[in-house]
Amino acid sequence: MNVLPRLLLPPGLYLLCDDTVLPGIPLVAKAERLLAGGARVVQLRMKRTPVREALEVARTVVSLCRSAGAVCLLNDRVDLALLSDAHGVHVGDEDLPARDARALLGPGRLVGVTVRDERGAREALEAGADYVGVGPVFGTTTKAVPAPVLGLEGLSRVVKGSALPVVGIGGVGLANVASVAATGAHGAAVVSDALLAQDIAERVRLLAGAFERGRVGG
């Protein structure tokens, strides 16, 4: 019996394709621009999109990501992830528990979990998560977050104490993405700084380069 290797989250930039940021631009168009910039991880977050439309969008974006060699994750929606053949899901504080998401998805897909501290990272590991999103690292207006800002020192503590790869989330952009990388974080999640750029693809390239420089200390 052949056993497929476990899917791993690519390191580096982690880009959110969000329907609340520039809602006038279709999600598929946003995804195309993110991928044109070399995105390796795209999380599709659809808070306002009706479910039938969301499924159609998910199937299209997953197909685009697979063609580009990128990982596509669905925010919150395990059902849409399964129906669209996404690479996995990311669940937050008020979503389906990670253990249940893992039970539904099986071992071959990624499960990411939002956590606030080292204890949350340990619990995510026990629940079967593949990585944790930790934040907010900085203040953010993209999403209301009922948790204190961690700052780079707080992020660094979680990175050092976590057995899972850590993605820094919350307020990350070109001005600070290198600092996030310098903490040893596996990745950095970016939303508005990429999607609000005049040239999204070029912004993604700049962000990815800055993360890499921060990671190697340059």
> Residue 5 has what pLDDT?
61
CA distance 12 to 189: 9
Phi, psi of 9 (to 5 degrees): -75, 125
pTM for the model: 0.94
- Whether the pLDDT of residue 35 is over 80: the answer is yes
> Tens digit of pLDDT for each residue in 125-176?
999 999 999 999 998 766 666 789 999 999 999 999 999 999 999 999 999 9
Q: Is the dihedral of CA 124, 157, 191, 47 positive or negative?
A: positive
> Residue 145 has what pLDDT?
67
Q: List the one residue out of 206, 193, 175 whose CA is nearest residue 38.
A: 206
Cβ neighbours of 119 (radius 10 Å): 11
> Residue 218 has what pLDDT?
55
139-145: long-range pairs with CB below 8 Å, 24+: 139/170, 139/171, 140/170, 140/171, 140/191, 140/192, 141/192, 142/18, 142/20, 142/21, 142/191, 142/192, 143/20, 143/191, 145/170
Q: List the one residue out of 20, 80, 31, 73 whose CA is nearest residue 53.
A: 80
> Tens digit of pLDDT for each residue in 70-119?
999 999 999 999 999 999 999 998 889 999 999 999 999 999 999 999 99
> Residue 67 has what pLDDT?
98
Q: Confidence band (pLDDT; 50, 70, 90) for 1?
A: very low
- Whether the pLDDT of residue 30 is over 50: the answer is yes
Intra-chain end-to-end CA distance of the chain, in Å: 46
Rounded average pLDDT over 198-218 = 94
| Contact call for residues 22 and 196 (beta carbons, < 8 A) | yes
Element housing 33 (H / E)? helix 27-36
> Residue 143 has what pLDDT?
64
CA distance 63 to 108: 18
Q: Confidence band (pLDDT; 50, 70, 90) for 44?
A: very high
> Residue 139 has what pLDDT?
86
